[in-house]
Amino acid sequence: MTTLVERGERRARPSRSLRSHRTRWAFVFLAPSLVLFGLTVFYPMARALQYSLYHWPLGSAKKFVGLDNYRRLLVDDGDFRQSVVVTLYFTVLSVLPTILVALFIAVLLNDARLRLRGLFRTIYFVPVVTSLVAVGYVWRALLEPSFGLVNTALGWVGISGPGWLASPDWALEGIVLMTVWRDLGFYMVIFLAGLQAIPREILDAARIDGAGPWRRFRHVTLPLLNPSIMLAGVIGVINGLQLFTQVYVMTGSAQQLPGGPLSSTRSVVIYIVEQTFRPLEMGYGSAAAFLLFVLIMIVTLIQFRLVQRRFEY
Amino acid sequence: MHATTRTVDVSKYLLLTVGALTMLTPLIWMVLASFKTLPEILAFPPTLLPEQVNLDNYHAVFETADFVRYFFNSVVIAAISVVSVLLTSSMAGYAFAKFSFPGRDALFVVVLATLMIPFQVRVIPLYVLASDLSLLNTYAGMVLPTLVDAFGIFLMRQYMMSIPSELIESARVDGAGELRIFVSIVLPLAKPALSALTIFTLVMSWESFLWPLLVASTPDMYTLPLGLAQFAGRFLNRTDLQMAAATMTVVPLLIVFLLMQKRFIEGMATTGMK
């Protein structure tokens, strides 16, 4: 009896030696992560901040320039500003349709009576596990203006398709099309998980109260799905602002830097890589990367605000 | 009432089927084009099936680029990255979930905050670091940024919170050492989270492009996506060869996915929080 009480007390308030024993073990378990975080996250972050204040062609001496890199990026550099516009435009243009279509398909699939439900879910998800580089080249061929499948299919319904990747006005839209296709399944899965967490009883209660399918969706399902939609939006925006691989694959060639035609698809990350690794100038690109970081934080914060307000009920 | 339900059902199936076919078309086109000759691919109106299934494109790809080597490199890099992330995440997640020590919550917030840092901010110093340590164009350099994952730590911590502390305490009372408790009690109970994290890390590693592009400089270090990009860049107008190479790049992960799709989809849904 006394031992039991003692053990209970011990658990509630461990002795000092036991506490330091536990703390030691906690840090044993944490050590590998902390060492690697230090080496691959915190040290590079500190260095990036430092580099951004220097003019530093790799291999020669660093020269301290203060905030000059930032000033040039924000004031003088029209190319950087354009890359920000391209990136924001791409993000809005790809995230909104992806979320809308994914939500639509998830609602259609969220029906226990539906036959072949598993098969549909698998098919819509398949593009998510395909290599982005590989499908980039596939879409490059599909979007070819004269023989490509996309314009051929548009021709069947009487639309004369645009020049897509060959046209400065349509290249980014072509990349958007491919991105929507590839990411759809991922968001669909997030929404399906959210839909399945909605209790049947709530929807049944709304039905008994006389709410039709649209009103049930609008006033019951949608507000309850709010966390999933916000999650999808934040993931989509963070990914969208880091646009790189699609542009590199779909617009680059041996003769031509990626980002064309006429810089119409040059995203911020493409610009950072171009400014850093071609002349091997570490300072300017680091400053641009920090501005991208700030942009991502601002947009994500705005999003948390907006979405919280829109679906309050 | 019945009639409308049926029309609704029919239009639902119709929509889903048309959508599913649209989703599959690019991939089917890729596979079929990989067996076609270049004039067949460029033909107007487009043809569906190749005139004859020939493997010439695949032969040509293997003759000019070592895709077996790229595949091998991708596997090695993914394996190192998965093992390291599972190990570091489960250990750190366990410490955050089941130990109390001074500064725990502050440290956890710091780890979580790193999730907001885009890779591009770290990439330039990481490149300089890899260059200083002579890790450019080596496996060690290729895996360097993927050895630890804040999201993995978060996922494991959340999952391990649900493991009853009594289990761990009673093992301690029975005299089990801390390492043994972790290996034989905590890890087996955390299997679902470990499997989700495995899938997520595998996909991330298989897909990674920017970092290998900067670090790998000779073909013997290329990964599949990088090897494909270099190959396709060289044969920019040879859609036939590109599609054979693209098919070879897509198929391995696709097979893994089809073999364990339920786990894959559930794993991606849980890890969707990233």
pLDDT per residue as tens digits for the range B34-85: 999 998 888 877 788 888 888 999 999 999 999 999 999 999 999 999 999 9
- Region B197-225: what's the mean pLDDT? 94
Question: CA-based diameter of chain B, in Å?
Answer: 77
Find the range with the poorest average confidence among A47-51, A88-92, A225-229, B56-60. Answer: A225-229
pLDDT of residue A2: 40
Contacts of A121 in chain B (CB under 8 A): 265
Contact criterion met (CB < 8 Å) for B144 and A252: no
List the single residue in A25, A109, A138 with the smallest CB-CB distance to B178.
A25
3-state secondary structure A222-247: HHHCHHHHHHHHHHHHHHHHCCCHHH
Chain A CA closest to residue B169: A11
pLDDT of residue B2: 57
Q: What are the backbone dihedrals phi and psi of residue A261, each rounded to the nearest 5 degrees, phi first?
A: -75, 145
In angstroms, the separation between the Cα of residue B272 and the nearest Cα of chain A is: 7
Residue to substitute from A29, A119, A235, interface B, most B β-carbons within 10 A? A29
| Percent of the residues in chain B that have a pLDDT greater than 90, as a whole number | 76
Chain mean pLDDT for chain B: 91
pLDDT of residue B236: 87
Evaluate if residue A313 carries a pLDDT over 80: no
DSSP assigned state of A217: I
pLDDT band per the 50, 70, 90 thresholds, residue A113: confident
Contacts of A292 in chain B (CB under 8 A): 118, 120-121
In angstroms, the separation between the Cα of residue A209 and the nearest Cα of chain B is: 19
Q: What are the backbone dihedrals phi and psi of residue B138, each rounded to the nearest 5 degrees, phi first?
A: -130, 160
Chain B CA closest to residue A145: B42
For residues B169 and B43, which has the higher predicted lDDT (pLDDT)? B169
pLDDT of residue A5: 42
List the single residue in A121, A193, A253 with the smallest CB-CB distance to B236.
A253
Q: The tokens 């190319």 sit on which residue? A: A79
Instruction: Give start-end residues of each CATH 1.10.3720.10 domain in chain A.
Output: 68-310
pLDDT per residue as tens digits for the range B154-163: 999 999 999 9
- Region B132-153: what's the mean pLDDT? 95
Decide if A181 touches B, using CB distance below 8 A.
yes
- Region A20-41: what's the mean pLDDT? 94
Contact criterion met (CB < 8 Å) for A293 and B117: yes
Instruction: Give start-end residues of each CATH 1.10.3720.10 domain in chain B.
Output: 60-273
pLDDT of residue A307: 66
pLDDT band per the 50, 70, 90 thresholds, residue A13: low
pLDDT of residue B273: 45
Stretch 32-91 of chain A: residues touching chain B, C-beta under 8 Å: 32-34, 36-37, 39-41, 43-45, 47-48, 51, 58
Evaluate if residue A8 carries a pLDDT over 90: no
Q: The tokens 């499997």 sit on which residue? A: B195
> What is the C-alpha separation between A309 and B42, in angstroms, rounded?
51
pLDDT of residue A12: 52
Evaluate if residue A310 carries a pLDDT over 60: no
Contact criterion met (CB < 8 Å) for A147 and B46: yes
Q: Could you tell me which of B22, B163, B32 has the C-alpha nearest to residue B90? A: B163
The CATH classification of domain A68-310, taken from the options 3.40.50.300, 3.30.300.130, 1.10.3720.10, 3.20.20.70: 1.10.3720.10
3-state secondary structure of A65: coil
In angstroms, the separation between the Cα of residue A201 and the nearest Cα of chain B is: 22
- Region B151-156: what's the mean pLDDT? 93
In angstroms, the separation between the Cα of residue B159 and the nearest Cα of chain A is: 16
Q: Could you tell me which of A126, A94, A258 has the C-alpha nearest to residue B232? A: A258
> What is the C-alpha separation between A41 and B271, in angstroms, rounded?
21
> What is the C-alpha separation between B126 and A41, in angstroms, rounded?
9
Contact criterion met (CB < 8 Å) for B250 and A130: yes
Give this complex's ipTM.
Answer: 0.90
> What is the C-alpha separation between A292 and B237, in angstroms, rounded?
34
- Region B103-112: what's the mean pLDDT? 93
Chain A CA closest to residue B259: A122
3-state secondary structure chain B: CHHHHHHHHHHHHHHHHHHHHHHHHHHHHHHHHCCCCHHHHHCCCCCCCCCCCCCHHHHHHHHHCCHHHHHHHHHHHHHHHHHHHHHHHHHHHHHHHHCCCCCHHHHHHHHHHHHHCCHHHHHHHHHHHHHHCCCCCCHHHHHHHHCCCHHHHHHHHHHHCCCCHHHHHHHHHCCCCHHHHHHHHHHHHCHHHHHHHHHHHHHHHHHCCHHHHHHCCCHHHCCHHHHHHHHHHHCCCCHHHHHHHHHHHHHHHHHHHHHCHHHHHHHHHHHHHC
Contacts of B27 in chain A (CB under 8 A): 126-127, 130, 135, 138
Contacts of B92 in chain A (CB under 8 A): 29-30, 32-34
Domain B60-273 fold: MetI-like fold (1.10.3720)
List the single residue in A133, A231, A300 with the smallest CB-CB distance to B249.
A133
pLDDT per residue as tens digits for the range B173-192: 999 999 999 999 999 999 98
pLDDT band per the 50, 70, 90 thresholds, residue A168: very high
For residues B102 and A305, which has the higher predicted lDDT (pLDDT)? B102
- Region A127-153: what's the mean pLDDT? 93
pLDDT of residue A49: 94
Chain mean pLDDT for chain A: 89
> What is the C-alpha separation between A249 and A247, in angstroms, rounded?
5
Contact criterion met (CB < 8 Å) for A108 and B100: no
